Amino acid sequence: MSHNALAVGMLVVLCAGNALVFLFAWEVMGLASFLLVLSNHRRDGVRQAAWLYLLATHLGAAFLLFALFQSIRPCGSLNLADFAALKTLPAGQAGLLFLAFLAGFGSKAGLLPLHVWLPDAHPAAPSHVSALMSGVMVKTGIYGLLRMATFLPVLPGWCGAILAVLGLAGALFGIADQAHACRKLQAGQLNIYLFYIFAATTLLLGVAMFTS
């Protein structure tokens, strides 16, 4: 049941055209993945890892709720297509909205320093669940950030700097953590590869948005 809920949640996140539908699907995805991480709850540390993940995912959801609410107010619509009206926002307000989206989606994507759930949750989850989470679910955070960023006007330069610095810091953290990868196995490897991907994605997004 939780596997199906996670799959449906991820699909709806990718296809949603309504802000409330998007947020609902995001919550379904988070709760379903929490239950899947909790599958082997009798093992030592699994429940602690699952609750840490749930805390992180709901912290991110709170930032998303705030960001979407602040987006709906000037647009007057729940339809994501109408978020194009955000192009008229002042640069400072748009920058703050971007930071809220960055915190909301970054918690799911494992962006430093919101990555604290990753080293514990993935080893705690069954291997097929961890593969689904690392292969698809965490990438929805990057997708969401890219999607919402397209609605915003040209942002202040400091937004690009924050994006690039956090991505590069995550990559450096992954390199430093590589010494423990053999002991952490999947968790260490996932940290390294995910941070590399996020660093590349944030740099490309920064170049595209702030040099246009």
pLDDT tens figures, 114-131: 777 776 776 677 777 777
Model's pTM, two decimal places?
Answer: 0.81
Alpha-helical segments (H) within the chain = 2-15, 19-37, 46-75, 91-109, 118-124, 127-132, 139-149, 157-176, 181-184, 186-210
Instruction: Look at 160 and 16; give whichever has higher pLDDT.
Output: 16
Going by C-alpha positions, the residue among 155, 131, 149 that lies closest to residue 201 is 149
Q: What pLDDT sits at residue 183?
A: 38
Is pLDDT at 1 greater than 90 in this prediction? Answer: no
**Three-state secondary structure call for residue 79:** strand
| Interval 137-194: pLDDT, tens | 888 888 898 888 888 887 777 777 787 777 777 666 666 655 544 434 445 455 555 5
Which residues, 6 or more positions from 24, have their beta carbon under 8 angstroms from its beta carbon? 12
209 and 149 Cβ atoms separated by less than 8 Å: yes
User: What was the pLDDT predicted at 181?
Assistant: 46
SS3 53: helix
pLDDT for 66: 92
Mean pLDDT of the chain: 78
Residue 101 confidence (pLDDT): 92
> Cα dihedral angle (107, 111, 113, 118), rounded to 10 degrees?
70
Mean pLDDT of 41-66: 85
Query: 86 or 205, which is more confident?
Result: 86
| Contact criterion met (CB below 8 Å) for 156 and 30 | no
Q: What is the predicted pLDDT for the residue at 205? A: 58
Who wins on pLDDT, 196 or 75? 75
With tokens 């799959």, the residue in question is: 7
- Give the per-residue pLDDT at 190: 55
Cβ-proximal residues to 130 (8 Å cutoff; 6+ apart), any chain: 122, 123, 186, 190
In the predicted structure, residue 77 carries a pLDDT above the cut 80: yes
φ, ψ of residue 79 to 5 degrees: the values are -75, 125
Radius of gyration for the chain, computed over Cα atoms and rounded to the nearest angstrom: 17
